[in-house]
Amino acid sequence: MKKVAVILSGSGVFDGTEIHEAVLTLLAIRQHGGQYQCFAPDKSQLHVVNHLTGEEVVGESRNVLVESARIARGEIKPVTECKEEDFDAIILPGGFGAAKNLCTFATKGADCSVDEDVMAVCKAFAEAGKPAGYACIAPALAAAVYGNNVKLTIGDDEATAAGINKLGAQHVNCQVDDIVVDTEVKLVTTPAYMLAQDILEAHAGLNKMVQTVLGMQ
C-alpha cells in the first residue's frame, strides 16, 4: 500500500485549502489503494477571509496547521515532521492558501518565495525522484520547486500561466478533467477549481491525478 504525504494550507478556498479538492484527493488516494498522512505549516495565515462575503476579516488571525486540522479530522502533523523517506509520493491540493500560505505567488507572482519548511519537504521528494501531484493553483509552487522548464498546468489562465513560466516552468494548457504529466520528474498537475464549474468536474481531474501519481514507479 503506497503512502502519500498530503500538504494542506488552511481551510477554505479563499484563504486556505480548497476543501472539496482536499476531500476528493484524500478519497481518491484511498479508493486507489493508498493511504495518506496530512501535514501543514505551523504558522499564521496571510489573512482571514469571510467565505460568505469574500471580504477580508480585519484584525483576525488563524493558524494554518490548526485550520487544516478541520479537514484532516485532527489527524495532521506539522510539515516539519514530513520525512520523504517515509512516503512514496506527495500531493498538494489547491485553494488560495497554496499561493498565500505555502508561498507568496498570490501577492508577488513570479517574484514569490516559498515557505522554507514546505520548500524543504517538496524539494526532498523532487530530488528523491518520487511522484508528486499538485492541483489548482498549487502548480505555481511546483514551478518554484522544480524549475528547469518542468511541464505543468493550472488550466488556461494566461496571466497566471505567464507568472508560472517566469518561475522557470513550461505551462501547458489543459482541460478541467485532464492532467499534465512531466514523466522525467514524475510531476502530475490538474486544473481542478481553476476551471471546474462544479464538484463533478473537479473530481474528474483530481481522480486522474491521484491515480497517475499512485501508478508511477
Residues labelled catalytic? 136
CB-based burial label for 186 (10 Å; 0-12, 13-18, 19+) = buried
Secondary structure element (H or E) that encloses residue 14, with its range: none
CB-based burial label for 199 (10 Å; 0-12, 13-18, 19+) = middle
Inter-residue contact 15 to 98 (CB < 8 Å): no
Secondary structure element (H or E) that encloses residue 35, with its range: strand 35-40
Residue 127 burial (CB count, 10 A): 11
Cell numbers placing 33: 489503494
> Taking the C-alpha atoms of 51, 155, 41 and 128 in order, what is their torsion angle to the nearest 10 degrees?
170
